[in-house]
Amino acid sequence: MKKNNDNFNGYFIRVISVFLWVLWLTPAQGKTQDNGIESLRQTSKAFASVARSVSPSVVFIQVESKGSTPRHFQFPFDDNELFGNDLFERFFGERFRDFSQPNVPRDVPRDMPQKQPKVIGQGSGFVFLIKDRLLSDVSYILTNNHVVQNADNIKVILQDKREFTAKVVGTDPQSDVAVLEINTSKLPALALGDSSSLEVGEWVIAIGNPFGLSHTLTVGVVSAKGRTSLGISDYEDFIQTDAAINPGNSGGPLVNLDGEVVGMNTAIFSRSGGYMGIGFAIPINLAMSIGKQLMNTGEVTRGHLGVVVQELSADLADSFDLQQNEGILIAQVMENSPAAKADLRQGDVIIRYQKKPVNNVGAFRNLVALSPPNSQQQLTVLRDGKSLNLTVTIGKLDKEPQLAQASEQPSTELGLTVQTITPSLAQQYNVKEGKGVLVTSITSGSVAAMAGIDVGTVILQVDRQPINSAEEFTRALNKTSQDKSVLLLLLKNNMQHYVVLSWS
Phi (first) and psi of residue 81, to 5 degrees: -70, -40
Domains by residue range for the chain, with CATH:
68-100 (no CATH), 196-297 (2.40.10.10), 302-397 (2.30.42.10), 408-502 (2.30.42.10)
Q: Does 366 or 18 have the greater pLDDT score? A: 366
State pLDDT tens for residues 98-151.
333 444 444 445 454 555 566 678 899 999 998 877 667 889 999 999 899 888
pLDDT at 305: 92
Residues 211 and 127: their CA atoms lie apart, in Å, by: 21
State pLDDT tens for residues 327-348.
888 888 888 889 999 999 988 9
State pLDDT tens for residues 137-191.
889 999 999 899 888 899 999 888 889 999 999 999 889 999 999 988 777 899 9
- Lowest model confidence (mean pLDDT) among 2-6, 296-300, 313-317: 2-6
- Lowest model confidence (mean pLDDT) among 106-115, 227-236, 279-288, 447-456: 106-115
CA distances, 439 to each of 335, 407, 458, 463 (Å): 25, 12, 6, 17
pLDDT at residue 80 tops 50: no
Q: What letter would DSSP give residue 63?
A: E
pLDDT at 27: 55
- Lowest model confidence (mean pLDDT) among 10-14, 79-83, 313-317: 79-83
- pLDDT-derived band at 38 (thresholds 50, 70, 90) equals confident
pLDDT at 328: 87
Contacts of 108 (CB under 8 A, 6+ apart): 98
Asked if residue 325 lies in contact with residue 359, where contact means CB atoms within 8 angstroms, the answer is no
Contacts of 343 (CB under 8 A, 6+ apart): 390
pLDDT at 72: 40
176 is catalytic: yes
Closest to 281 in 3D by CA, of 328, 218, 327: 218
DSSP H or E stretch at residue 239: strand 238-241
State the catalytic residue, choosing from 139, 250, 319, 469.
Answer: 250
| Percent of the chain predicted with pLDDT > 90 | 25
- pLDDT-derived band at 81 (thresholds 50, 70, 90) equals very low
State pLDDT tens for residues 350-376.
999 998 888 888 888 888 998 999 999
Closest to 310 in 3D by CA, of 485, 491, 496: 496
Asked if residue 316 lies in contact with residue 500, where contact means CB atoms within 8 angstroms, the answer is yes
49 is catalytic: no
CA distances, 391 to each of 236, 354, 362 (Å): 25, 10, 21
State the catalytic residue, choosing from 98, 172, 176, 242.
Answer: 176
- Would you say the pTM of this structure is higher than 0.85? no
Question: Most confidently modeled of 80-84, 266-270, 285-289?
Answer: 285-289
Residues 211 and 50: their CA atoms lie apart, in Å, by: 22
State pLDDT tens for residues 414-461.
888 888 887 667 766 777 877 888 887 788 778 888 888 888 899 998
Q: β-pairing, 118-131 with 138-143?
A: antiparallel
pLDDT at 373: 92
Residues 487 and 465: their CA atoms lie apart, in Å, by: 10
Asked if residue 125 lies in contact with residue 179, where contact means CB atoms within 8 angstroms, the answer is no
CA distances, 422 to each of 53, 111, 465, 469 (Å): 70, 49, 21, 10
pLDDT at 256: 94
State the catalytic residue, choosing from 146, 215, 304, 497.
Answer: 146
Q: What letter would DSSP give residue 192?
A: B
Give the number of C-alpha atoms closer than 13 A to the C-alpha of residue 360, restricted to the C-beta side.
Answer: 13
- pLDDT-derived band at 236 (thresholds 50, 70, 90) equals confident
- pLDDT-derived band at 378 (thresholds 50, 70, 90) equals very high
pLDDT at 409: 60
Residues 343 and 392: their CA atoms lie apart, in Å, by: 9
Q: Does 466 or 1 have the greater pLDDT score? A: 466
Q: What is the dihedral of CA 35, 38, 39, 41, to 10 degrees?
A: 170
Contacts of 212 (CB under 8 A, 6+ apart): 60, 122, 248
> How many CB atoms lie under 10 A from the CB of residue 327?
24
